[in-house]
């Protein structure tokens, strides 16, 4: 419980090193400790005020004493010497400048407000930029953590997931990595308390935590054998989840919780600030399976990361992985043909997609700051012109050009310092706002904070701004024509060099504004385009809800069907509900974007890799009608189809174009990989419009749906 070291340093500097100074610092520190008990923020603010009050008072007293002593010994007036510009001059200018601020509060408010907005926006965006792009991920030697992908050249997809088979082969063959692991984000249900809780969690191989190199805050990490089925009933909690759901109880280690239908033991809690793979992960659990449990090698459903072995580089690892991928292609042509390897650093992967946006945003706010500077420079310039007479009087009393220049610069700096302080305060609150509006749109937002480097940046920006908007007026002032200015008094607006400067400023400002406006216009335009994209379904008037029952309570299919039927019937009975339907994965809601490979009856495929890939959804019969997805040919499913007697399926237009060509799809049969090696046949009864399933900007995927 000590006051901020920075403020103590400042205070020490202001009051000096005498015993009296030590007393003041001790008194303030003592009172700070006392006030700290009733709130940190209040105590900090109080301390800041006290430091400024006492420090300011001391500064003035000390300097005045010094000044008086000097004046007494040396009769030369210190005010307007043509010699060097000393501390005393500067303090004099500072006091004069502060008086100026008080004298014209309207002018001050406009100038400081303009600068604060510019500096605040710039600092806030820099904070985001620094956190997201520039600072290393919160893992040990994070630049050695590599995101590993299978690249699917058949479909031109560079980043595709793994199967556990792939992972095992890569792990065994590679020397470039000291460790490779797999993970996958999921949603699960924590039961056992009054209300079941939906939990975002990640399945991981035990090696993941070793790769990330972050020790647990409590308990332990996963052991290698906990990857095995039957040994996997252990979980690790995130710090946030531990706090919110388990009340930060250290006795949680060893406790059994009911998660996703099974009793699992909490073995560890990760430290605050740790996240993986995304911000939202509340819990981690081992996959609990061996590659053999996975079925097909071609079902690539997990994501991989690895840590580079000592002395290895990303490039050498990439070469080695490509070699391994080629060997695997030869060994398993059915599943691995066309499957290469693609590596990138974890941080490149995490920030890909946000990097351009952030740099551009930062560029825009920097332009805005420059506009603000030009604006303020213009205001200052008109004021300097209006002060022509005052400056002329100063010059006639012996103030050199340097002296007047320094005075104007100091005065201007006062505004920029006020603007900077207010700007940082704005940035501080702006960051919370930014976090709220961007939601999950940017990675690493939980790490956002204004730290020393941001403050340093803000100070730099403030000083640079101060120089930028001050140079013009200050330079202008050095061209004083004594005789004319004294005669003409304040009628100096619009004269020669001053007018040219102001015109140049206006032109600069206009050019910058137009650039920013065009950029903003384009952005709005893209947003409009995006909202105009036909998603294939009708959004307005539709509400969605997610239900994820714990499957051990509904072991039989009939029980689950009964649960959903009951649920749908009760929702349908609610006042205001017109109709209701269900699907296993909503479009554009994230997740479930892995395709499955299927065969058309009567077609022969060279290998598994040549089979058609479909996104697959299970629906209730009226789903298409409820979502407003149009029928192109055939018929919608009926409740009779739903009874389970008939295996019927609908496919999307894109699937027809891509896989069936001109032949009539109705009545054809599709074999779905449902356990039996030959697949289970489903009859196509209809073709529906395409739906954008994964994101608004990726093309509609060949898509098929069948009644559940």
Query: Site residues (CB under 8 A) for another protein?
Result: 1-3, 8, 15, 19-20, 22-27, 29-31, 33, 50, 53-58, 61
The nearest distance, CB 74 to another protein, in angstroms, is 23
The nearest distance, CB 20 to another protein, in angstroms, is 5
The nearest distance, CB 61 to another protein, in angstroms, is 5
The nearest distance, CB 26 to another protein, in angstroms, is 3
Pairwise CA distance, residues 257 & 212, whole Å: 26
| Cβ-based nearer residue to another protein, 11 or 586 | 11
User: What's the burial of 300, exposed, middle or buried (CB within 10 Å: 0-12/13-18/19+)?
Assistant: buried
How many other C-beta atoms lie within 10 A of the C-beta of residue 511?
13
| Cβ-based nearer residue to another protein, 69 or 572 | 69
Q: What three-state secondary structure class fits 383?
A: helix
Pairwise CA distance, residues 504 & 149, whole Å: 54
Pairwise CA distance, residues 512 & 507, whole Å: 9
Pairwise CA distance, residues 36 & 190, whole Å: 39
Phi-psi region of 698 (alpha: psi -120 to 50; beta: other; left: phi over 0): beta
| Cβ-based nearer residue to another protein, 20 or 66 | 20
Contacts of 565-570 with C-beta under 8 Å, sequence gap 24+, read 568/620
| Cβ-based nearer residue to another protein, 58 or 564 | 58
| Cβ-based nearer residue to another protein, 20 or 527 | 20
Angle, alpha carbons 125-130-135 (nearest 5°) = 165
Sequence-distant (≥ 6) Cβ neighbours of residue 574 within 8 angstroms: none
Place of tokens 């600072």: 135
| Cβ-based nearer residue to another protein, 56 or 539 | 56
| Cβ-based nearer residue to another protein, 35 or 186 | 35
Q: Which of 354, 278, 312, 318 is nearest to 143 (CA)?
A: 312
The nearest distance, CB 45 to another protein, in angstroms, is 15
Place of tokens 């699960």: 188
Alpha carbon distances (Å) from 367 to 110, 372, 513:
19, 9, 8
The nearest distance, CB 49 to another protein, in angstroms, is 9
Q: Are 142 and 214 in contact (CB under 8 A)?
A: no
Helix H, strand E, coil C: the string for 685-706 is EEEECCCCCCCCCCCCCCEEEE
Q: Indicate the helix (H) or strand (E) that contains 118.
A: helix 105-129
Q: Phi first, then psi: what are they for 284, rounded to 5°?
A: -125, 145
Q: Are 533 and 696 in contact (CB under 8 A)?
A: yes
| Cβ-based nearer residue to another protein, 20 or 618 | 20
Angle, alpha carbons 56-61-67 (nearest 5°) = 125
Sequence-distant (≥ 6) Cβ neighbours of residue 524 within 8 angstroms: none
Q: What three-state secondary structure class fits 342?
A: strand
Pairwise CA distance, residues 213 & 672, whole Å: 42
Pairwise CA distance, residues 269 & 239, whole Å: 6
Name the pairing type of β-strands 262-269 and 256-259. antiparallel
Using the CB atoms, write b or e for 393-407: b if 16+ within 10 Å.
Answer: ebbeeebbeebbbbb
| Cβ-based nearer residue to another protein, 57 or 220 | 57
Pairwise CA distance, residues 306 & 148, whole Å: 7
The nearest distance, CB 33 to another protein, in angstroms, is 4
The nearest distance, CB 230 to another protein, in angstroms, is 55
Length of the chain: 708
| Cβ-based nearer residue to another protein, 56 or 229 | 56
| Cβ-based nearer residue to another protein, 20 or 157 | 20
| Cβ-based nearer residue to another protein, 25 or 563 | 25
The nearest distance, CB 320 to another protein, in angstroms, is 57
| Cβ-based nearer residue to another protein, 43 or 212 | 43
| Cβ-based nearer residue to another protein, 64 or 248 | 64
The nearest distance, CB 96 to another protein, in angstroms, is 21
How many other C-beta atoms lie within 10 A of the C-beta of residue 367?
18
| Cβ-based nearer residue to another protein, 14 or 655 | 14
| Cβ-based nearer residue to another protein, 5 or 41 | 5
First to last CA, the chain: 62
The nearest distance, CB 53 to another protein, in angstroms, is 5
| Cβ-based nearer residue to another protein, 62 or 491 | 62
Q: Which of 295, 267, 264, 270 is nearest to 282 (CA)?
A: 270
Place of tokens 């030869």: 330
How many other C-beta atoms lie within 10 A of the C-beta of residue 495?
16
The nearest distance, CB 44 to another protein, in angstroms, is 15
* Residue 518 in tokens: 């065009």
Helices (H), 387-495: 388-396, 401-438, 452-477, 482-488
The nearest distance, CB 64 to another protein, in angstroms, is 11
Pairwise CA distance, residues 253 & 50, whole Å: 46
């Amino acid at each position: 419980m000590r006051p901020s070291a920075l403020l103590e340093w400042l205070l020490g500097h202001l009051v000096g090193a005498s015993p009296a100074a030590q007393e003041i610092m001790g008194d303030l520190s003592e009172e700070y400790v006392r006030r700290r008990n009733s709130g940190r923020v209040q105590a900090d603010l109080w301390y800041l005020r006290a430091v400024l009050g006492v420090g300011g008072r001391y500064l003035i007293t000390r300097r005045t004493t010094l000044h008086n002593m000097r004046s007494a010994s040396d009769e030369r007036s210190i005010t307007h010497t043509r010699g060097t510009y000393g501390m005393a001059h500067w303090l004099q200018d500072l006091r004069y400048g502060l008086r100026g601020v008080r004298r014209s509060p309207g002018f001050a408010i406009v100038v400081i407000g303009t600068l604060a907005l510019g500096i605040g926006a710039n600092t806030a965006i820099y904070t985001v930029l620094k956190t997201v792009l520039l600072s290393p991920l919160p893992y040990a030697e994070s630049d050695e953590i590599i995101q590993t992908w299978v690249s699917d050249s058949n479909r031109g997809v560079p980043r595709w997931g793994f199967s556990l088979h792939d992972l095992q082969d890569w792990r065994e063959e590679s020397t470039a990595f000291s460790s490779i692991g797999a993970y996958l984000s999921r949603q699960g249900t924590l039961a056992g308390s009054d209300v079941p809780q939906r939990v975002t969690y990640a399945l991981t191989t035990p090696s993941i935590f070793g790769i990330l190199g972050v020790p647990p805050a409590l308990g332990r990490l996963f052991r290698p054998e906990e990857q095995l089925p039957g040994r996997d009933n252990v979980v690790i909690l995130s710090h946030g989840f531990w706090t919110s759901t388990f009340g930060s109880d250290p006795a949680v280690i060893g406790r059994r919780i009911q998660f996703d239908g099974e009793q699992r033991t909490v073995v560890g809690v990760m430290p605050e600030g740790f996240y993986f793979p995304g911000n939202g992960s509340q819990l981690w659990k081992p996959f609990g399976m061996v590659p053999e449990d996975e079925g097909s090698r071609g079902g690539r459903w997990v994501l991989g990361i690895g840590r580079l072995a000592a002395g290895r580089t990303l490039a050498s690892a990439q070469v080695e992985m490509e070699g391994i991928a080629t060997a695997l292609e030869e060994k398993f042509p059915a599943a691995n043909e066309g499957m290469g390897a693609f590596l990138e650093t974890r941080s490149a992967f995490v920030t890909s997609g946000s990097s351009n946006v952030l740099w551009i945003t930062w560029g825009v706010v920097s332009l805005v700051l420059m506009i603000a500077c030009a604006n303020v420079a213009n205001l200052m310039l008109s004021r300097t012109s209006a002060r022509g007479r005052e400056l002329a009087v100063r010059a006639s009393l012996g103030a050199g050009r340097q002296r007047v220049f320094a005075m104007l610069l100091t005065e201007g700096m006062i505004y920029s310092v006020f603007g900077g302080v207010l700007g940082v305060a704005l940035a501080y609150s702006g960051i919370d706002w930014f976090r709220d509006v961007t939601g999950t749109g940017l990675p690493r937002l939980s790490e956002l904070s204004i730290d020393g480097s941001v403050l340093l940046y803000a100070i730099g920006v403030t000083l640079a701004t101060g120089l930028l908007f001050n140079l013009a007026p200050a330079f202008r002032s050095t061209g004083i024509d004594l005789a004319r200015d004294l005669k003409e008094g304040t009628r100096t607006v619009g004269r020669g060099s001053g007018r040219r400067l102001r015109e140049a400023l206006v032109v600069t400002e206009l050019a910058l504004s137009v650039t920013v406006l065009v950029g903003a216009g384009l952005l709005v335009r893209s947003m409009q385009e995006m909202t105009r994209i036909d998603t294939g379904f009708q959004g307005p008037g539709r509400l969605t809800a997610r239900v994820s029952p714990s499957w051990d309570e509904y072991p039989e299919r009939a029980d689950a069907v009964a649960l959903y039927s009951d649920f749908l019937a009760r929702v349908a009975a609610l006042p205001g509900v017109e109709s209701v339907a269900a699907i296993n994965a909503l479009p554009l809601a994230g997740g479930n974007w892995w395709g499955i490979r299927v065969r058309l009856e009567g077609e022969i495929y060279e290998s598994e890799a040549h089979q058609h890939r479909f996104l697959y959804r299970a629906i209730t019969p009226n789903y298409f009608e409820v979502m407003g997805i149009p029928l192109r040919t055939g018929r919608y499913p009926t409740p009779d189809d739903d009874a389970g007697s008939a295996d019927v399926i609908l496919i999307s237009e894109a699937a027809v174009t891509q896989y069936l060509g001109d032949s009539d799809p109705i009545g054809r049969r599709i074999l779905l990989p449902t356990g039996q090696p030959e697949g289970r046949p489903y009859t196509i009864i209809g073709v529906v419009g395409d739906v954008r399933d994964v994101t608004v900007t990726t093309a509609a995927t060949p898509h098929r749906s069948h009644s559940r």
